A = this chain, B = another copy of it.
Amino acid sequence: MDLARRGILIILSSPSGAGKSTLSKRVLEDDDQVVFSVSATTRSPRPGEENGREYFFKSREEFEDLVNSGGMLEHAEVFGNFYGTPLAPVEDAIASGQDVLFDVDWQGGQQIRNSPLSEAVVSVFVLPPSIAELEARLQKRGQDSAEVVAGRMAQSSNEISHWAEYDYVLVNDDVDRAEEDLRAIVQAERLKRARVTGLTGFVSGLKAEYEAMQ
């Protein structure tokens, strides 16, 4: 029986190369109740990018107005451009029972956990089985230079140091098993009593049935 429920915010963080993107992609493909969070940015659209699909493209002023009015769930500046998640579409999604997946670093995770939507947050940190394996995965992608790989490795040590801020931790030594674990987490979190808004009405119906029997 599918009772009405509030959606959850699934925060997925990990050092790059630990398999977070693959896990996100699989969950989004296999679970039609989960949507990906679309970020806003002040950088210019690249060829082929569409407003509202890759990003919501905003002027610096629009972006700052949103931040100042509390309209951003999280935001950060990267190489002079702002990136962030507008609050309103996320609120609408979870009110209608959709879950929203966030692929963010520990700083984004902290901001979302401290936001007005903190009750809806389910945070998952993905660890690599070893650092050697992490490096091997980054090198195998073949898309990054040795310098970029070295930079990501330095960053990963900092990212990993925040593992204990997350509700759940997965060690991704087998991507099928990690996906299964992530799906169990999502399924269980949806079943939490406090999230299933339809339960109160459902139990009232049971009570009415008892009364009608007497």
The answer on a CB contact under 8 Å between B168 and A203 is no
In the assembled complex, how far is the CB of residue A185 from the closest CB belonging to chain B, in whole angstroms? 4
Q: In the complex where A127-B202, A199-B163 touch, is A189 in contact with B188 (Cβ < 8 A)? A: yes
The answer on a CB contact under 8 Å between B209 and A160 is no
The answer on a CB contact under 8 Å between B203 and A188 is no
Picked from B129, B169, B199, B206, the residue with its CB within 8 Å of the CB of A130 is: B206
Ordered by A's residue number, 9 sampled pairs between the chains whose C-beta atoms are within 8 Å are A163-B199, A168-B188, A169-B199, A171-B202, A181-B188, A181-B191, A184-B184, A184-B188, A188-B189
In the bound complex, what is the Cα–Cα distance between A171 and B193 (angstroms)?
A: 11
Query: A195-209 vs B: 1/0 string, CB under 8 Å?
Result: 010010011011101
> Does chain B have a CB within 8 A of A176?
no
The answer on a CB contact under 8 Å between B127 and A173 is no
Chain B residues closer than 8 Å to A196, beta-carbon distance: 169
In the assembled complex, how far is the CB of residue A208 from the closest CB belonging to chain B, in whole angstroms? 9
Picked from B127, B184, B189, B192, the residue with its CB within 8 Å of the CB of A203 is: B127
The answer on a CB contact under 8 Å between A131 and B164 is no
Q: In the complex where A130-B209, A203-B127 touch, is A168 in contact with B184 (Cβ < 8 A)? A: no
Within 8 A of B (CB), among A165-190: 166-171, 173, 181, 183-185, 187-189
Query: A77-93 vs B: 1/0 string, CB under 8 Å?
Result: 00000000000000000
The answer on a CB contact under 8 Å between A191 and B213 is no
In the bound complex, what is the Cα–Cα distance between A191 and B166 (angstroms)?
A: 11
The answer on a CB contact under 8 Å between B167 and A129 is no
> Does chain B have a CB within 8 A of A157?
yes
Chain B residues closer than 8 Å to A157, beta-carbon distance: 207, 210
The answer on a CB contact under 8 Å between B193 and A169 is yes
In the bound complex, what is the Cα–Cα distance between A75 and B177 (angstroms)?
A: 39
